[in-house]
Structure 1
Amino acid sequence: MTESSSGAGETHRLVAQRKEKLAAWREQRAAFPNDFRPDALAGELQQRHADDAAEVLDEAGHEVAVAGRLLAKRVMGKLSFATLQDRSGRIQLFMQRDLLGEDEYKAFKQLDIGDIVGVRGKLSRTNKGELSVRAADWRLLTKSLRPLPEKWHGLSDTEARYRQRYVDLIMNQDSRAVFMARSAIVRGVRDFFEARDFLEVETPMLQAIPGGAAARPFVTHYNALDHDFYLRVAPELYLKRLVVGGLERVFELNRNFRNEGVSTRHNPEFTMLEFYQAYADHHDLMDSIEALLRTLSDHVAAHHGQACNEDAVRFEQPFERLTMREAVLRYNENIDQQLIDDKEQLSRFAESAGVRGEASWGQGKWLTELFEETVEHKLVTPTFVTDYPAEVSPLARRRDDNPEVTERFELFIAGREIANGFSELNDAEDQAARFQAQADAKAAGDDEAMYYDADFINALEYGLPPTAGAGIGIDRVVMLLTGRSAIRDVLLFPQLRPQAATPG
């Protein structure tokens, strides 16, 4: 018998045993009651009474009702100890036969690790100094039919943690802390923009024309209209329509979908922040993003430090700002300005660096691909890279003094792209020409090229005020602020390859 089959057999035996206990319990009392109401949380009790001595607790006689999952149990004759975990933390239960009565104490001894219970009693401190609830009565609220893993931290198959996140959250306090920090980060983003008079909006997830990013979309079919629709790759074009309509400061915090590969940095479904501000340029956005990340970092470090490790990024120093040309020159040897300006020399150099190009590429595309191949992963400290070529920036405003490049930036931290933003192109005729170039590229076989969006051109013809907008990958921000190296560690339910169904 293999180790895996042996483990499966043991699990089946334990499940059968627990089902027998549940059947016996059903004959005696309600098996899944829903009338117990806790009035205290384990973590809050630990904090509130951290300095209270046993005598103080006994004199005060604090009576509490707590509910949660049993994670440990030690039975010792006339008394037992157990560990209860709720959403806030853990607290010890002190179960005594003389206080509970013979029958209730005997029933408690039959409970299994993983069962969910409600307990009422007074706070006390044991001889070893452990804050405890001295139970006066208790109730089984939910019977756990499957045994919890004994050493979840030690699982070599980390994919199991992602597939069964519910078990990971039960057993792994670090995972719980990460997702509590994530919630605080999302809340902090909203607070930041609302304090600056931005309006939170929602735009369509299903789009007739996917736009706003160079990415392959997911395709679905809308039966009522008998028409194919696309899960959005970005909300950008709809948000700019709102600025045309007079909503001069808007942001959206929601999901995007891109039909691309899965890796430690990519998930096909991900959370994105996009914000747009009229009468602002890309310099204003870089200032705002730097302030936002510093605010979020300070908050997580102050209130969720347990979610961070030594790899978490801090933002005490000002962010560096480099043009793409400056970055390529700094991080590549044997290259100079003259080579960058010559398409033939640049393409040969890029190919020698590992770039696999196409004959249709212009100088700007070659420069961008060389940057991505040789520079991105070296940008460890927070760095804004600016002046992206117009050739690879179909929605960005050209620089007045150099129309070959745009007022666009990307932010890189720890070798990852975190944000992308630019002064928006509000010249309807220029935008129409760039859309057409993208449409031509798509017709030539570029699956990630943008579609021609005639309605967006129509909106621009009504007049988009001078505007700047940016997108920030929230999942990657959470990775940075909690020191996680894989995007799956900060997604509650990351996308995984479907697993063959197995009998319970």
Structure 2
Amino acid sequence: MSEAAPQQPQSTEAELIAVRREKLAKLRELGVDPYGARFETTTTPEALRAEFVEGVQVKVAGRLTAIRDMGKSIFFQLADVHGSIQGYLGIKGLSEEKAAAWKCLDRGDWIGIEGETFITRTGEPTIKVGDFTVLSKALRPMPDKWHGVADREIKYRKRHLDLMGNEESAKLFVTRSLMLAEIRRFFQDRGFLEVETPMLQDVAGGAAARPFETFHNALGMPLTMRIAPELFLKRLLVGGFTKIFELNRNFRNEGISRRHNPEFTMLEAYWAFSDFKEMADLVEEMTCHLAEKFCGGLKIEHKDEEGNVTRTIDLSRPWKRARYDDLIAGAAGADFFTITPEGRRQRCEELGVQISPEMEDHEVIQQVFEKLVEEKTFDPCFVTHVASELVPLAKVSPGGKTVEVYELIINGQEISPGYSELNDPDVQRERLEVQSGEETHKIDYDFIETLEHGMPPAGGIGIGIDRLVMMLTGAPTIRDVVLFPLLKRKE
């Protein structure tokens, strides 16, 4: 048996860059601008493939993602984030200068091509290249063409590499963008107006969260990045708007996890003369519409990193609706709300629910809900009639112990809260003061004054867009659906 040929050592990145710089210099010697200019296209790789017709002259631009050089004949893939198309180049058909320029190209370079469409003997839609234009010479190599970017930290820190190397990532972010456009269309078709409210605020309100703090030099005053747009959107209800929504960023100076990013995309919508039940119907309709349009149906598969299906979420309507207390009693015992607060603490220990001594009774109950109900609820469930201490901006239910609220749980996490909005200024003042305790300076009294001008009864919703996209696409973490998640700086 003959000995195996010795493996050729792989080039280092520095060596690859050096070779590409030599090619860059050669292009310039040939009189070719390696960073091109305007190139007029007639179509895109995706559109051409989707509506392919033979014998048509086209002009297409994209990145070279694969090159198969067979000497006189060269096949290559031209791609962008939406899709790819095959190109065919016959060296004999090129001028000496063009042939020399082609030899200076690598995977990762951007080019524009002109040519006629045809289908190969293997049935592949292809462009026979008559001419090409160099648009951008890449000096660093693309990710491995077979495995893309496997390292998760590199995926998040260098999203451009992830997008060019992982087709599924590129597809996900295109889908996210299309979903956002469809959400806007969904609300606009129902008469809602899109509005914008301040991201820099004097008082951070609308949620219980720690804000990012900053300072405005010209005005000489501290400001915060908004934690929610709610109080400003309600000012617009007072002003006479009756159906509004905002789709924008919120910022919370809190922990980072697979479900939390310090800046996140939030939809809030308000509908005058509506209530939390009608808003729940709206969210259910919208979510199912998105699933059917972008996910192929109402059954959403979630997979692990190896591609194995771990869970299938069923969005089939109607979605379950259940009261907060009933769900907790079903998980923690039918007597959970009849035993003493100390008894509830003891029950938590028995059930393995961690609580701290400083928690108030309603916080203990909420901890039981989060650990035994929320984290174990995967198919959609509207949890209604939540404890009034937890939601100070919602209308109190008859009887006064709960508020007219839903919390939509899907895939073990809250996707959307919805309220019958509190519009009584005196009750609102009292509840915000109770919530803030001694820190009354954190109350937006200007908002209370605004309510005194009269806010119509209304339903309101918030939807965490990042979590919604996670659920609909089967993404395991919020970092997989945020293009540039916040990461600790590398030393």
TM-score (norm. length: structure 2): 0.91
Q: Counterpart of 2:387 in structure 1: which amino acid?
A: P
Q: Is 2:462 aligned against 1:475?
A: no
Where do 1:169-318 residues align within 5 Å?
Answer: 169-302=163-296, 313-318=313-318
Shift in Å, 1:376: 0.9
| Number of the residue aligned with 1:381 | 379
Please state whether the residue corresponding to 1:387 is helix, strand or coil.
strand
| Number of the residue aligned with 1:38 | 41
* 186 and 207 in structure 1: CA distance in 2 versus 1, 3 angstrom threshold: same
Q: Is 2:127 aligned against 1:133?
A: yes
* 156 and 185 in structure 1: CA distance in 2 versus 1, 3 angstrom threshold: closer
| Number of the residue aligned with 1:391 | 389
Distance 2:300 2:390 in 1: 41
Distance 1:173 1:308 in 2: 18
Q: Counterpart of 1:409 in structure 2: which amino acid?
A: Y
Q: Counterpart of 2:437 in structure 1: which amino acid?
A: D
Where do 1:1-12 residues align within 5 Å?
Answer: 10-12=12-14
- For the 8 Å contact 2:17–2:141, the answer to whether it is kept is yes
Please state whether the residue corresponding to 2:295 is helix, strand or coil.
helix
Shift in Å, 1:107: 2.6
| Number of the residue aligned with 2:152 | 158
Q: Is 2:460 aligned against 1:462?
A: no
- For the 8 Å contact 1:174–1:307, the answer to whether it is kept is no
Shift in Å, 1:339: 4.1
- Specify every segment of 5 or more residues in structure 1 that has no aligned partner in the other structure, as ranges: 1-5, 444-449
Distance 2:346 2:337 in 1: 10
Distance 1:321 1:441 in 2: 37
Q: Counterpart of 2:208 in structure 1: which amino acid?
A: A
Deviations 1:254-286 (A, max 9, x none): 000011111111100000001111111111111
| Number of the residue aligned with 2:51 | 48
- Specify every segment of 5 or more residues in structure 2 that has no aligned partner in the other structure, as ranges: 1-8, 304-308
Please state whether the residue corresponding to 2:84 is helix, strand or coil.
strand
Q: Counterpart of 1:326 in structure 2: which amino acid?
A: D
Q: Counterpart of 2:388 in structure 1: which amino acid?
A: A
Higher helix share: 1
* 285 and 498 in structure 1: CA distance in 2 versus 1, 3 angstrom threshold: same
Shift in Å, 1:71: 1.1
- For the 8 Å contact 2:82–2:174, the answer to whether it is kept is no
Distance 2:326 2:484 in 1: 40
* 378 and 148 in structure 1: CA distance in 2 versus 1, 3 angstrom threshold: same
Q: Match for 1:28 among 12, 27, 30?
A: 30
* 204 and 195 in structure 1: CA distance in 2 versus 1, 3 angstrom threshold: same
Q: Counterpart of 2:20 in structure 1: which amino acid?
A: R
* 337 and 281 in structure 1: CA distance in 2 versus 1, 3 angstrom threshold: farther
Distance 2:123 2:242 in 1: 59
Q: Which moved more, 1:168-177 or 1:349-358?
A: 349-358
Please state whether the residue corresponding to 1:322 is helix, strand or coil.
strand
Q: Counterpart of 2:459 in structure 1: which amino acid?
A: A
| Number of the residue aligned with 1:116 | 110
- For the 8 Å contact 2:82–2:171, the answer to whether it is kept is no
How high is the sequence identity, in percent, across the aligned residues? 41
Distance 1:238 1:299 in 2: 32
Please state whether the residue corresponding to 2:101 is helix, strand or coil.
helix
Distance 2:443 2:224 in 1: 14
- For the 8 Å contact 2:300–2:313, the answer to whether it is kept is no
Shift in Å, 1:328: 0.7
Please state whether the residue corresponding to 1:256 is helix, strand or coil.
strand
Q: Which moved more, 1:36-45 or 1:235-244?
A: 36-45
| Number of the residue aligned with 1:3 | none
Deviations 1:176-219 (A, max 9, x none): 11111111211111111111111111000000000001111110
Deviations 1:393-424 (A, max 9, x none): 11111112x21111111000010110011111
Shift in Å, 1:351: 4.4
Shift in Å, 1:102: 3.5
Shift in Å, 1:289: 0.9
Distance 1:491 1:223 in 2: 31
Distance 2:394 2:339 in 1: 21
Q: Counterpart of 1:199 in structure 2: which amino acid?
A: L
Please state whether the residue corresponding to 2:128 is helix, strand or coil.
strand
Please state whether the residue corresponding to 1:398 is helix, strand or coil.
coil
* 173 and 470 in structure 1: CA distance in 2 versus 1, 3 angstrom threshold: same
What root-mean-square deviation, in Å, do the aligned CA atoms of Structure 1 and Structure 2 show? 2.4
Distance 2:429 2:416 in 1: 25
Q: Which moved more, 1:412-421 or 1:340-349?
A: 340-349
Q: Counterpart of 1:483 in structure 2: which amino acid?
A: G
- For the 8 Å contact 1:177–1:307, the answer to whether it is kept is no
Shift in Å, 1:153: 3.4
Please state whether the residue corresponding to 2:386 is helix, strand or coil.
coil
| Number of the residue aligned with 1:15 | 17
Shift in Å, 1:47: 2.2
Q: Counterpart of 2:433 in structure 1: which amino acid?
A: Q
Q: Is 2:400 aligned against 1:403?
A: yes
Shift in Å, 1:148: 0.8
* 152 and 235 in structure 1: CA distance in 2 versus 1, 3 angstrom threshold: farther
TM-score (norm. length: structure 1): 0.89
Q: Counterpart of 2:372 in structure 1: which amino acid?
A: T
| Number of the residue aligned with 2:5 | none
